[in-house]
Amino acid sequence: MHVIVKPTVLLVDDEESVVRGLNAVLRHRYNTFLSTDPFDAIRIVEKETVDVIILDIKMPKMDGIELLKRFRAIDPSILVIMYTALNEAVTAVKAMKEGATDYCLKPIDPDQLIEMIDRALHLQKLTNQVDTLQEKIDRHLGVNNCVWKSASMADVFQKVEKAAQFGIDVLITGETGTGKELIANAIREKSSRNKSAYITVDCGAIPENLLSSELFGHEKGAFTGAMIRRRGKFELADGGILFLDEIGNTREEVQSALLRVLETREIIRVGGEQRIAVDVWIIAATNKQLEELVQQKKFKGDLFYRLNRFPVNIPPLRERPEDIPLLVDHFLKECAGKYGSRIRIIPDATMEMLVDCPWLGNVRELKNCIEQTCIMYGAQTTLHPSYLPVNVRYPTITVTASRNTHSANSLSSALESLEKEMITEALKVSDWNQTHAAKRLGIPRSSLQRRITKYDIQNFNSLS
């Protein structure tokens, strides 16, 4: 059964008779909120998902233009239709410059107002469709999730362009979670081989004794279980690109074979003698310091220098904090489509915590944080600081607690303090419903009740 969700309209006027009159006309067509107080209207927009606001320009407590600015600061995409008397038309023009969607003159014609609302909603729908198409185009071009404004990432993407242009073998380095595979895919999509084979091999996930066979193939009878001849990834990638992820995890035998392929552009299957020419562009990636492994004789120097002719190093997220707000916005949009999350407002205090967090897991950890928050609190519109995971709100305490295990008393005290705060916040968000709070925390209700008693957590609002 298909459920039609009606748009939500907020009616704001200092005269109660006006908002009730408008509500009588609109409530059958839209979900409506009514407000005669500008500060109450602001609270509604902060808490609820509002599609359209109908707003009087002339109000005593706060000028309609100022209130319009407040609404737009909370949610820049919100639609605001303002109404005014004929002799205030100049003010209406000013409102349009401040971001109002439309305006009408008093007395309000109900049919005209409904037409304005529907037209504004239709225009917004078209705009969203354009945005969706643009995201699909971006995905096709391989730039999805590659969001940045920092100079260091601009340098990375300059190298991406050059690597794609000249088709040179590339070594991508960077900590875990920085997005090495995304960069590899961006190189591929911008290159002349973007429609050719693109084969990925995670060298760290394949047992060492099977990696040679996986890469170069094997002949029938080459080893126990080799019942048929099998082509390897190099042959499958012929004419295209082979992405070797975590190349730092390969053993010497495989490294020697890879070096031979880079020098001759030929492979020999395991158990075979025939040399097979391959036209393969290699993009390799690692989170290890290969120079150190070379010095320790754990990685072949010749292979490193051959791969490192065109290095692309992705800086860790903590070194480019200016990228974090863009990434957060990007991941929130992803979660809106993936999980139906309504979160779209990020207070300054929340963003400050996100920017200050060290993000040892880099972009992947940030994405997981936003996804976790959207799953837990997706019914809300504002991402309050208390919704963030403990390790983001208290990164210093969390890291210190994991390192200073000898300080048992202080560690225990810190963990208990954090646990109490988490439980209190879960109860607040759940309107002090213990069953719902327990589900949010992922613990049995009986465990929650024991902790409430232990920490003497009380709902003081219920006492007032």
Tokens standing for residue 229: 């001849």
Lowest mean pLDDT: which of 6-20, 258-272, 405-419, 438-452?
A: 405-419
pLDDT digits (tens, 9 = 90+) for 422-442: 888 778 877 888 888 887 776
What ranges in 179-323 are assigned the alpha helix state H? 180-190, 208-216, 233-236, 252-264, 290-295, 301-307
Helix (H) or strand (E) holding 277: strand 276-277
Q: How confident is the model at residue 123 (pLDDT cuts 50, 70, 90)?
A: confident
Contact 95, 68 (CB under 8 A): yes
**Cα–Cα distance between 83 and 53 in angstroms, integer?**
11
Q: Is the pLDDT of residue 296 over 50?
A: yes
Name the DSSP letter for residue 364.
H
Contact 105, 83 (CB under 8 A): yes
pLDDT digits (tens, 9 = 90+) for 48-96: 889 999 999 988 889 899 999 999 888 888 899 999 876 766 777 788 8
Token pair 């705009």: residue: 127
On average, the pLDDT of the chain sits at 87
Q: Is the pLDDT of residue 208 over 80?
A: yes
Question: What does the pLDDT read at residue 4?
Answer: 61
Contact 308, 290 (CB under 8 A): yes
What whole-number percentage of the chain has pLDDT above 90? Answer: 59
Q: Which amino acid is at 257?
A: A
Residues belonging to the chain: 464
| Mean pLDDT of the region 441-451 | 81
- Map out the domains of the chain with their CATH numbers: 8-137 (3.40.50.2300), 151-313 (3.40.50.300), 320-383 (1.10.8.60), 394-464 (1.10.10.60)
Residue with the bigger pLDDT between 83 and 447: it is 83
Helix (H) or strand (E) holding 105: strand 102-105
Contact 455, 423 (CB under 8 A): yes
Question: What does the pLDDT read at residue 137?
Answer: 53
Q: Is the pLDDT of residue 411 over 90?
A: no
Q: Which amino acid is at 364?
A: R
Q: Is the pLDDT of residue 127 over 90?
A: no
pLDDT digits (tens, 9 = 90+) for 301-313: 999 999 999 999 9
Question: What does the pLDDT read at residue 154?
Answer: 92
Q: Is the pLDDT of residue 249 over 90?
A: yes
Residue with the bigger pLDDT between 403 and 87: it is 87
- The pTM (predicted TM-score) of the whole model is 0.65
Question: What does the pLDDT read at residue 142?
Answer: 44
* Nearest residue to 142 via CA among 278, 283, 247: 283
Q: Is the pLDDT of residue 320 over 70?
A: yes
Measured CA angle at 56 (ends 53, 57), to 5 deg:
115
Question: What does the pLDDT read at residue 338?
Answer: 86
Q: List Cα–Cα distances, 358 to 173, 316, 365, 388, in angstroms.
A: 19, 9, 10, 14
Question: What does the pLDDT read at residue 47?
Answer: 85
